[in-house]
A and B are shown apart, each in its own frame.
Chain A
């Protein structure tokens, strides 16, 4: 029995089989990563299209504009002394975009428009 255990015949074959099994495992992992990256690529393309659409609509002035009352912005020097103040008009631009069959709203704020009295 001891002699049989000491024998090294078939060891290379076993090693090759184990190597193949390990290689298959790594290959599966790699293929999974490739598939994930592929899916991500699709997601990115879709998101980029959505973002481009949103920005085009924003710059084309297609959003719904809501004017808000002006708020006073007072700026302070590093020692806390008031330097100056400004009351800019504020507005929100809301864009409605269809994403994956669902409507989603994106809001952008800016200091523009006619200040409400």
Chain B
């Protein structure tokens, strides 16, 4: 009995310590429950604000697309800015952020743009097989070639949410096609015949299975145009190729 009594006395304070540990666990769980509940409620409320930002960014991007693909000749349009500044070799390769000057309608958020560009290869290799050229050679007059891939990201920022939407465009330019064969340059004259690009020389007539490298050179004061890459996939006539 004495021994048991001593044993109980040795453990004095143990039950309270255990209860405090359990208590700490319960308090932590309670805090987690309350916090996650509040967070989820905020998240549901934020969805509406996110949707507002989404609507603004996507609809502004659609307006830019309409302007770029149909009205790029206007002097102060996005197309003119791309042609005269952003897509010139002098500009460099770094992305450009454009902020909107002061807007009067605050409820339409703050709109900003980020422009990025990627120069596309201006040479193609054409393979002559028994059945003809694969793929078809550009016409002797030249071709319309996509020389740049431009990404325009619209960011709409509202007080409690923001959304960014990116649309990709091809910039098309009228080019002449110059063919390289054994160190000399030729222009295609039709019927598998190529004429020397510069000076006099013998025509080149090809036969058999051969490959020709074609270099596209933009024409002087060439017309440019833009198309949405996403829409090219839906339009079979335009195809995903970058030569027309």
Contact = CB atoms under 8 A, between A and B. Distances in A.
Nearest to A93: B55
B52 A43 contact: no
Contact of B12 (A11, A54, A89): A11
Q: Which 4 A-B pairs have the closest CB atoms?
A: A40-B37, A33-B30, A110-B59, A26-B23
Interface of A: 8, 11-12, 15-16, 18-20, 22-23, 25-27, 29-30, 32-34, 36-37, 39-41, 43-44, 47-48, 51, 54-55, 58, 68, 71, 73-78, 82-86, 88-90, 106-112
Interface stretch (B105-113, B127-135, B199-207): B105-113
B37 A37 contact: yes
Given A16-B15, A43-B41, A84-B81, A23 B104 contact: no
B76 A112 contact: no
- Name the prevailing secondary structure of the B interface residues: helix
A77 B67 CA distance: 19
Contacts of B64: 86
Given A40-B38, A86-B64, A51 B44 contact: yes
Contacts of B78: 84, 86
B19 interface: yes
Interface residues of B, number: 59
A86 B23 contact: no
A62 B107 CA distance: 21
Contacts of B27: 26, 29-30
Contact of B36 (A37, A39, A86, A90): A37
B44 A90 contact: no
Contacts of B76: 82, 84-85
